[in-house]
């Protein structure tokens, strides 16, 4: 008997694969039409599949019901995503970008990060109860770096290409990549001081001097400087090796494209084993790897790297939605919800925006105040904040007294877990919805105004342009044209009666001369004929129903059926101005000698003269003004280059006109037969 294997591995594969498949079916619609970020959608999906909802994804079971192991898994997952993302971010930048734009980057990474750190710490210190300023500095340092994953979703796509200049996109990518690794000095300054100074230094040996010494030696020298040197060396060596292999054609295309991703994995592993800053090393390695811009140009049109980027983004934010402590936002012992919500709003508004507005005049890429507002507001908090959160919690677990975590360290760990997760979720939702809500706020009032205006206009017919005393009375040309068309149709509709002998009587209703009636009838037929159905002569090969009706009407007219109505035939060889004549040119006989001017005129007028008529319709006129008009006497009139304000010019030729028949019969274009509708 087959049995079901509903185990966690199968559930995770089905859930993750099914969501990415369904999301991929509408990804362009969601991201390029509705401007929704994949981080926001993936976080919501993770919440739906988490133990808080459907319980399909069970992160705690994967970690053997151990909270510490779950945090370790999340920490390593964030390291992997940040390492790959930062190598790709470094590869995206142009050649020697960090060297060329060092002034702007130093302003954003130096005073800029310090201002963001202090402002966020002050807000946390003011709104979170019962914490010291050192605790607030640790929380502020964790959310100071701008997230490169969410920054990529902002500076890529249709909205970014249309509204964000390329120099501004590059400076945002460079800043978000560099300040991720530079969050270590801000964070560990607070953590070392808390460990050696806070709570009276209980459980540790040392003082404030020890904390500052460790901060300089371990954080700046070993973590920051060594990671920069290691990343630059590995990136440069990798670039030279790839050049050497490509010149000798040792590497295939697939390995060439995936080289940057494998380089990121190598750096994350080796720097992690050294205990240094693998995040900063990955970004520096990506810049060094594309220092000569060769790899970036070679892979510019490739879709492998964006595909890996998308898969990692969707996976990490689904994981965040599943492991986020949603219930602790309401029920916790460190900060009530009525303080947590204002903290999230104020941090998003005041953490970065004042700094950018103050410094934007010295940053060439930020040209005006609108760009400064955009850069200041879109400083997202995401993967990097969760990375520093679990780095901090791992460090705080090492501060023990008698085998247990010191009380101040435990309290700070709880504060950081609630506030950093809440700030990250606020940033994901606010920055993910800012663009679509901004678009909605821009278009919605205009749409409502147009709808109300059209409703008022339809409800009040007297509110017309002509009723405005300040504007001239402009007639409705379309309505006038429709009225004239109905008048012509009723006027030219001939109704004949038959006498006792079956012959048509001369008594008609609405009688007009035959030639005028025929002109008006064919004008109306051309007006109402569908596009593309042009009547040609017997040489044209294309006829519509009017040609068949001609023979039927002629037979009925000569047969004298009682009550029959003879139909007026469509003119043969008729065409619109600007349309080609399908009739082949008439060639003179071989023995006729050189043609005279009169014969040339007759040959050029074999289609008959053109009757000029103006039809009051609304069709365009440009395509119908292509050939000169020809009068009945054979002379040409110059073609007008400007169209009349109303209607189009229509030229109709009537081979059965008495003034034209002699010319046509002389060249053999028509046969001797009576006019349709007349008795033989």
4-32 pLDDT tens trace: 889 999 999 999 999 999 999 999 999 88
Residue 303 confidence (pLDDT) above 50: yes
Phi, psi of 207 (to 5 degrees): -145, -160
Asked whether 329 and 340 are in contact (CB, 8 A), the reply is: yes
Q: In the prediction, which pLDDT does 610 show? A: 45
Q: Which of 115-124, 260-269, 662-671 has the lowest mean pLDDT?
A: 662-671
Nearest to 38 by CA among 27, 47, 54: 27
Residue 659 confidence (pLDDT) above 60: no
Q: In the prediction, which pLDDT does 651 show? A: 44
Asked whether 139 and 393 are in contact (CB, 8 A), the reply is: no
- The Cα–Cα gap between 125 and 507 comes to 104
**Ramachandran quadrant class, 200 (left: phi over 0; alpha: psi -120 to 50; beta: rest):** left
- Per-residue pLDDT averaged across 137-148, rounded? 95
**End-to-end CA, the chain:** 95
Strand, coil or helix: 630: strand
Q: Which of 135-139, 168-172, 515-519 has the lowest mean pLDDT?
A: 515-519
| Helices 407-459, 183-196: crossing angle, 10 deg rounding | 140
Q: In the prediction, which pLDDT does 209 show? A: 93
Q: How confident is the prediction for the chain on average, in pLDDT?
A: 78
Residue 613 confidence (pLDDT) above 80: no
| Helices 407-459, 383-397: crossing angle, 10 deg rounding | 160
Residue 615 confidence (pLDDT) above 50: no
Q: In the prediction, which pLDDT does 77 show? A: 96
pLDDT digits (tens, 9 = 90+) for 357-402: 999 999 999 988 999 999 999 899 999 999 999 999 999 999 999 8
Q: In the prediction, which pLDDT does 430 show? A: 94
Strand, coil or helix: 648: strand
Phi, psi of 579 (to 5 degrees): -95, 145
Within 8 A by CB and 6+ apart from 279, the residues are: 79, 82, 83, 86, 180, 181, 384, 387
* 193 vs 675, more confident: 193
- pLDDT bracket for residue 485 (50, 70, 90): low
* CATH topology (fold) of 8-436: Na+/H+ antiporter like fold (1.20.1530)
- The Cα–Cα gap between 336 and 97 comes to 45
Question: Taking the domains of the chain in order of start, what are their residue ranges?
Answer: 8-436, 484-498+517-582+596-633+641-666
- The Cα–Cα gap between 603 and 636 comes to 15
Please work out, in degrees rounded to the nearest 5, the angle formed at the alpha carbon of residue 309 by the alpha carbons of 306 and 315. 140
Q: What is the CB neighbour count within 10 angstroms for residue 273?
A: 9
Q: In the prediction, which pLDDT does 546 show? A: 41
| Helices 183-196, 383-397: crossing angle, 10 deg rounding | 20
Q: Which of 196-210, 344-358, 495-509: highest mean pLDDT?
A: 344-358
Q: Side-chain half-sphere of 12: how many Cα atoms within 13 Å? A: 12
Q: How far from the centroid of its chain's Cα atoms is residue 334's Cα?
A: 43
- pLDDT bracket for residue 495 (50, 70, 90): very low
């Amino acid at each position: 008997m087959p049995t079901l294997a509903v185990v966690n591995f199968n559930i995770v594969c089905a859930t993750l694969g099914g969501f990415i498949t369904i999301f991929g079916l509408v990804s362009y619609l969601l991201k390029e039409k509705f401007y929704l970020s994949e981080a926001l959608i993936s976080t919501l999906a993770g919440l739906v599949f988490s133990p808080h909802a459907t319980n399909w994804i069970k992160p705690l079971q994967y970690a053997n019901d151990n909270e510490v192991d779950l945090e370790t898994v999340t920490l390593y997952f964030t390291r992997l995503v940040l390492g790959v993302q930062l190598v790709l971010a470094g590869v995206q930048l142009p050649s020697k970008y960090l060297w060329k734009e060092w002034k702007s980057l130093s302003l954003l990474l130096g005073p800029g990060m310090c201002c963001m750190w202090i402002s966020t710490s002050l807000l946390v210190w003011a709104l979170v109860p019962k914490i010291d300023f050192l605790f607030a500095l640790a929380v502020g340092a964790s959310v100071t770096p701008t997230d490169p994953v969410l920054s990529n979703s902002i500076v890529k796509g249709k909205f970014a290409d249309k509204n964000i200049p390329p120099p501004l996109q590059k400076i945002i990518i460079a800043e978000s990549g560099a300040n991720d690794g530079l969050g270590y000095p801000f964070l560990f300054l607070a953590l070392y001081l808390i460990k050696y100074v806070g709570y009276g230094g209980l459980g540790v040996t040392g003082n404030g001097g020890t904390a500052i010494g460790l901060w300089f030696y371990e954080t700046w020298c070993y973590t920051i400087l060594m990671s920069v040197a290691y990343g630059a060396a590995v990136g440069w060596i990798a670039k030279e090796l790839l050049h050497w292999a490509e010149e000798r054609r040792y590497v295939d295309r697939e390995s060439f494209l995936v080289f940057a991703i494998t380089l990121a994995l190598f750096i994350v592993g080796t720097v992690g084993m050294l205990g240094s800053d693998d995040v900063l090393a990955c970004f520096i390695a990506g810049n060094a790897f594309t220092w000569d811009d060769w790899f970036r140009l070679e892979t510019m049109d490739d879709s492998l790297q964006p595909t890996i980027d998308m898969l990692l983004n969707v996976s990490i934010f689904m994981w965040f939605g599943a492991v986020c402590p949603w219930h602790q936002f309401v029920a916790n012992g460190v900060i009530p919800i009525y303080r947590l919500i204002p903290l999230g709003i104020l941090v998003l508004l005041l953490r970065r925006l004042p700094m950018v507005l103050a410094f934007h005049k010295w940053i060439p890429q930020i040209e005006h105040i609108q760009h400064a507002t955009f850069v200041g507001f879109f400083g997202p908090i995401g993967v990097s904040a969760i990375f520093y959160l679990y780095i901090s919690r791992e460090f705080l677990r090492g501060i023990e007294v008698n085998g247990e975590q010191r009380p101040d360290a435990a309290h700070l760990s709880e504060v950081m877990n609630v506030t950093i997760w809440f700030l990250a979720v606020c940033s994901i939702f606010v920055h993910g919805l800012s663009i679509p809500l901004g678009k909605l706020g821009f278009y919605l009032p205009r749409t409502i105004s147009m709808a109300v205006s059209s409703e008022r206009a339809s409800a009040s017919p007297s509110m017309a342009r002509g009723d405005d005393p300040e504007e001239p009375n402009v007639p409705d040309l379309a309505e006038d044209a429709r009225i004239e068309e109905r008048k012509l149709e009723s006027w030219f509709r001939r109704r004949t009666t038959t006498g006792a002998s079956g012959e048509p009587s001369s008594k008609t209703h609405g009688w007009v001369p035959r030639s005028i009636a025929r002109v008006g009838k064919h004008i109306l037929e051309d007006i109402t004929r569908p596009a593309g159905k042009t009547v040609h002569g017997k040489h044209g090969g294309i006829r519509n129903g009017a040609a068949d009706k001609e023979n039927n009407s002629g037979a009925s007219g000569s047969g004298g059926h009682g009550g029959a109505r003879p139909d007026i035939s469509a003119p043969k060889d008729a065409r619109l101005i600007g349309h080609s004549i399908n009739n082949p040119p008439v060639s003179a006989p071989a023995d006729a000698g050189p043609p005279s001017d009169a014969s040339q005129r007759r040959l050029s007028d074999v289609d008959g003269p053109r009757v000029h008529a103006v039809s009051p319709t609304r069709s365009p006129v440009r395509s119908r003004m292509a050939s000169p008009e020809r009068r009945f006497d054979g002379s040409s009139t110059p073609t007008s280059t400007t169209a009349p304000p109303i209607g189009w010019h229509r030229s109709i030729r009537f081979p059965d006109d008495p003034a034209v028949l002699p010319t046509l019969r002389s060249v053999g274009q028509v046969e001797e037969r009576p006019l349709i509708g007349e008795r033989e």
